[in-house]
Amino acid sequence: MSSSLEVGTATQPAQLTPVSEPVTGRGARAVIVRLVLGSSAMLFIELALIRWLGSNVLHLSYFTNFVLLGSFLGIGMGFLISRKSWSILPLSSVLLMLLAIAVHLFPVRLLNRGGNAIIYFTSVKPSGLPAWIALPAIFVIVAVLLAGPGEVVGRCFGQLDPLRSYRWDLIGSLLGIGTFTLISFLRAPSVVWGAIAAVLLVLLNRRGFKLVTALSGAGLILVLLAESTTAGISWSPYYKVQTWEHTSWTGATKVMISVNGIPHQLMAPADWLLTQSEPAYQQYSAPYERTNTLSLDNVLIVGAGSGSDVGIALSKGAKHVDAVDIDPRLVQIGAEKNPDHAYSDPRVTVYINDGRAFLQSTDTKYDLILFALPDSLALVNGASQIRLESFLFTDRALRTAHHHLKPGGVFAMYNAYRQGWLIDRLAETTAAAFGHQPCVDQTASHRAVITVAVDPANQKCATRYSPPNNVVAPSTDDRPFLYYKGGGIPALYLWTLAGIMLFTLLAVRVLAGPFRSMRSYFDLFFMGAAFLLLETSNIATFALLFGTTWLVNALVFGGVLVIVLAAVETTRKFRTPPLPVVWGAIVTSLAIAYVIDPAWLLGLPFWPRLILACVIGFLPVYLANIAFAKRFAATDHAQSAFAINLLGSILGGCLEYGALLTGYRNLLIVVGVLYLFAFLLTPKHDGALVSA
């Protein structure tokens, strides 16, 4: 295809020229097949990069949306490139191979903690390239890499009418998400991901480049095969997991578990763990020693992991233990290798679930509830500040734990908290939930065990805990940022986001020419930003209501695409109201979503909660995409319009960090403002405002 979007000169700005007439018949079917294949490749490679890079470059465990934003930029660049005569697609497979080799040779094993205002759990020594080199390089490589599949989809958009293109793009995206969800469920190793990505890129490339693409794919597979066949390596839906055995000088054999290259858990006999004198091991016994009387008829352990705390509870005489963990692979390792065989004990019932979701769904009362080291090393995909355990430590979550204790019950949690302010914050959150101060046992390196009884007379603290005067307020369900001390947005984030926006502007200027040439599509830019924020808000809401598990997250992403597809089909097949009416409906639906506190739904049974959550969360998504589909159908330049919409998503991704200051609920106000900008910038002279 010859280029019809050229960079302007100093005297003549770039002009957009209409695409050729859409193809029909057998030619259209061939374009649709290629479009679906390209869309599937885009989503699959994007998700694979988020998982794999986050598991090997520690910085990205806490900045998964860094790769997400790079993907958006790359796909947008691909759409702009699709209007030109040259192709970037053959470079994608080569870059993918080189990226895998570079990460394999220079793994980054230390995260800059950015002072003590925000905490990242790490316990490893520095290695690999410094962050200021690794992160920008990965962002640029991901963008250029994804531009290849984006170009394929963009060229197909230029050969079909806009809504037909968008429809099949969504179907292909659903296939990509479905495929990656399936291999996550099967816990397939990374070599399987690489093989699928390599095959997709071979199929997409034209005949003259298939050999180069195939050779690059083979190189990629070899690198990932080396990783996948390393002793002890396996994959969970959240981490790259590695296990190895270690024999101490006392002769005890411990099984060590690391995730994403960081030491995470250990398995050893319960009697050995309870008899160690080192401060690090006191966390195992303290919860059982801080009460005058403690019955263990029914125990709940959240963060049961590989089973060490379950084994200890059984050794203390527990008659029944509910063991809850979000990661099925860690539990499986515990079932296979834990020396106490705790998970084989008939007194133990295992639940693979998010801890907060389990507490909300059970009616059981417990004698002891223990949060056993439930700190994750991963974020919920699509939400830059929500970690897997974020909703477990909010003020309402601890009140829920209190509600599930018997009158003589005890609640405890322990971890190496890294900062004193975090210990004080959790202690005060516990005190507010239980009505009195807990016992706080602190050891070296800010390790702490926080224990509280329902009846304060039942507590037996080793030392009296006195909170300081300036304790950080508890985290809430709207602001579940436990490890964020507060104040302004950390400088690390601001510099990173500024760099992303600067690179985005430069890339668009080079590929699309002067920004004034895209003036007629500025409304689509703000639609993209608003939609990304709306999607993030939904992810946070569904994580609260149903848990932060990988399956819930995948279903939310898939559900959003299904709703978008439904909006496109509605616009294609039915007469819809004029755009001003749709804009009004969007504002109304956002107002409803803002007024209804998601916490009101927590007490409902599962199905009513799900139905109401979908209606409240997805109605604005549906209406917003009715507006987008009507506007998109009226464009003469589908590739450029869609590219600008995707680039707007990058702004939305950057604005999402504002939730640190506003909370997720107030993001809906920002969404409303962005849609207002889109409404005001919508061209009034075309058919976009006419009922269709």
Please report which confidence band the pLDDT of residue 138 belongs to, taking 50, 70 and 90 as the band edges.
confident
pLDDT of residue 9: 28
Which 3 state secondary structure label does DSSP give 636? coil
Q: Which helix or strand (DSSP H or E) is residue 449 part of?
A: strand 447-453
pLDDT for residue 225 is more than 60: yes
Q: Which helix or strand (DSSP H or E) is residue 406 part of?
A: strand 405-416
Q: pLDDT tens-digit profile of 518-570?
A: 788 889 999 999 999 999 899 999 999 999 888 888 889 899 999 999 999 99
Interstrand relation of 253-259 and 439-442 (parallel, antiparallel or unpaired): unpaired
Fold classification of 268-375+395-458 (topology level): Rossmann fold (3.40.50)
pLDDT for residue 397 is more than 90: yes
pLDDT for residue 685 is more than 70: no
pLDDT for residue 492 is more than 80: no
Q: pLDDT tens-digit profile of 236-286?
A: 988 899 998 877 655 667 888 988 877 888 898 898 888 887 777 888 899
Please name the amino acid found at residue 549. T
pLDDT for residue 10 is more than 50: no
pLDDT of residue 250: 59
pLDDT of residue 121: 54
Asked if 297 and 319 count as a contact pair (C-beta separation under 8 A), the reply is yes
Residue ranges per structural domain of the chain: 22-232, 268-375+395-458, 489-691
CA angle in degrees (0–180, nearest 5) for 447-449-450: 130
Q: pLDDT tens-digit profile of 264-277?
A: 888 988 988 888 87
Percent of the chain at pLDDT exceeding 70: 88
Average per-residue pLDDT in the chain? 86
Distance of CA 278 to the CA centre of its chain: 36
Q: pLDDT tens-digit profile of 113-136?
A: 445 556 655 545 555 566 667 778
> What DSSP state is assigned to residue 474?
P
Helices 190-204 and 210-228: angle between axes, nearest 10 degrees: 180
Lowest mean pLDDT among 13-22, 562-571, 580-589, 645-654: 13-22
The residue count for the chain:
692
pLDDT of residue 635: 82
Mean pLDDT over residues 470-496, rounded?
87
Q: End-to-end CA distance of the chain, in Å?
A: 31
Residue with tokens 């993001």: 667
Dihedral angle at the C-alpha atoms of 135, 138, 139, 142, nearest 10 degrees?
-160
Fold classification of 22-232 (topology level): Growth Hormone; Chain: A; (1.20.1250)
Please report which confidence band the pLDDT of residue 669 belongs to, taking 50, 70 and 90 as the band edges.
very high
The CA distances from residue 558 to 38, 178, 360, 431, 582, in Å, are 18, 8, 24, 40, 24
Asked if 58 and 261 count as a contact pair (C-beta separation under 8 A), the reply is yes
pLDDT of residue 384: 61
Please report which confidence band the pLDDT of residue 2 belongs to, taking 50, 70 and 90 as the band edges.
very low
pLDDT for residue 387 is more than 70: yes
Fold classification of 489-691 (topology level): Growth Hormone; Chain: A; (1.20.1250)
Residues paired with 405 in a beta bridge: 366
Per CATH, 268-375+395-458 and 489-691 having the same topology is answered no
Greatest Cα pair distance in the chain: 86
Which 3 state secondary structure label does DSSP give 337? helix
Buried b (16+ CB within 10 A) or exposed e, 444-468: eebbbbbbbbbeeebbeeeeebeee
Q: How far apart are CA 27 and CA 25, in angstroms?
A: 5
Q: pLDDT tens-digit profile of 605-627?
A: 999 999 999 999 999 999 999 99
pLDDT of residue 7: 29
Q: How far apart are CA 78 and CA 472, in angstroms?
A: 45
pLDDT for residue 111 is more than 50: no
pLDDT for residue 139 is more than 50: yes
Residue with tokens 């909370």: 663
Distance of CA 501 to the CA centre of its chain: 21
pLDDT for residue 445 is more than 90: no
pLDDT of residue 110: 46
Q: Work out the number of other CB atoms within 10 angstroms of the CB of residue 231.
A: 7
The strand ranges marked E within 454-533 are: none
